[in-house]
Amino acid sequence: MGDSGNLASAYNDDSVLFRVLRHLGWDSLADIGYFTLPTLPVAALAGPVPFQRRLARRSLALLDARPGQLVLDAGCGRGDTTARLAAAGCRALGVDIQPAQIDQARRRFGDSARFAVADATALPRRAAEIPLTDGSFDQVHCLEAAFHFGHEGRRSFLSESFRLLRPGGRLVLVDVTSRTDQPIGTLDPNGLVRATWRFDDLEPCERYPLMAADAGFTTRRILDWTTPVLHRAAQLCALFAGTASTRAGRQALCLRWPGLRTLDAQDWDEVIAVVRAHRAIGRVTRYTAYVLDKPADGVTGVAP
């Protein structure tokens, strides 16, 4: 289940990786980004933000949400995707377990969308004045948040989403998954990746549809975004770590990203180690988008 205490210091400047990402431009989105091969050199120079926006757009497009529909954005972070839904005419509610994220979401987007602190794996009956009653939502969106929930939390989230959706409603779940059910401890022996992002395990990608079926969903589509998201991010990480390993490289990075001048030698060593640990874990991870429909007629299972 979500653990706000453990998560509370994630996504902030306590972690050198998040400090670096902030200096590279991370702002209202906290997703990895969707990179195409021709745009990789652009990403190396422009930073990740345009690619994070592209991933958000792709994820939201899978919802097929229409103006006037009620949409829950679970694990909304700083509210960017929730605000996009609101801008498209939806009645959008963003929830996140971290009060600091919701504070920022309200400050940035509170005029257009509603936000509440809530655990997506154990939703309250009401949030931001909106009742979360059975069958009351048209769509649920969850972009890159469920890896935090733990296995049982992911099961609970699927059940909660199913309960909340009207018949014919849709859950779009985009998550970092694993290729194997090999314990993550063997892949991240020093716990650097897990400590940075505050998670315990990843769901094997083949298990999600089974869990979704257990909750009552029909799997409409499964999209494997491992290459455009993880593999290309790994290439950028390798470039960053390689460049940051030399004095001249660090100077070049600081010229392009002046905020990086605040890093001391220990910070640089730490961020290189963390980035390399991400590359190691990246060999057995996948990035998967699941389009899960609540059947309109009560029939469940995998779509033909």
Ligand X SMILES: C[S@@+](CC[C@H](N)C(=O)[O-])C[C@H]1O[C@@H](n2cnc3c(N)ncnc32)[C@H](O)[C@@H]1O
Per CB under 6 A, residues contacting ligand X are 2, 7, 29-31, 74-77, 80-81, 95-98, 101, 119-121, 143-145, 148-149
**What is the smallest separation between the CB atom of 249 and ligand X, expressed in angstroms?**
28
Tell me the C-alpha to C-alpha distance, in Å, between residue 236 and each of 48, 63, 96, 219.
10, 29, 29, 32
Tell me whether residue 106 or residue 148 sits nearer to ligand X (CB atom).
Answer: 148
In the bound complex, what is the minimum distance in angstroms from residue 287's beta carbon to ligand X?
Answer: 12
Shortest distance in whole angstroms from residue 149 CB to ligand X? 5
CA torsion sign for 255, 259, 265, 269 is negative
* Nearest residue (CB) to ligand X, 203 versus 253: 203
Nearest one of 67, 79, 64 to 114, comparing CA atoms: 79
The single-letter DSSP state of residue 78 is T
Q: How far apart are CB 99 and ligand X at their closest, in Å?
A: 9
State which residue has the least CB distance to ligand X: 2
Contact 294, 187 (CB under 8 A): no
Encoded tokens for 113: 């969308």
Q: Which is nearer to ligand X, 253 or 281 (CB)?
A: 281
| Residues 302, 304: Cα–Cα separation, whole Å | 6
- What are the φ/ψ torsions at residue 189 (nearest 5 degrees)? -60, -30
* 229 backbone dihedrals φ, ψ, rounded to 5°: -100, -65
Cα separation, 10 vs 222, in Å, equals 29
Q: For residues 86 and 56, what is the distance between their CA atoms, to the nearest angstrom? A: 14
Nearer to ligand X, 30 or 212 (CB): 30
B/e letters for 72-103, b = 16+ CB within 10 Å, e = fewer, are bbbbbbbbbbbbbbbeeebbbbbbbbbebbbe
Cβ 76 to ligand X, closest distance in Å?
6
Q: Which is nearer to ligand X, 153 or 253 (CB)?
A: 153
Minimum CB–partner distance for residue 292 and ligand X (Å)? 17
Cβ proximity to ligand X: between 253 and 292 the closer is 292
Residue with smaller CB distance to ligand X, 146 or 253: 146
Cβ at position 114, least distance to ligand X in Å = 15
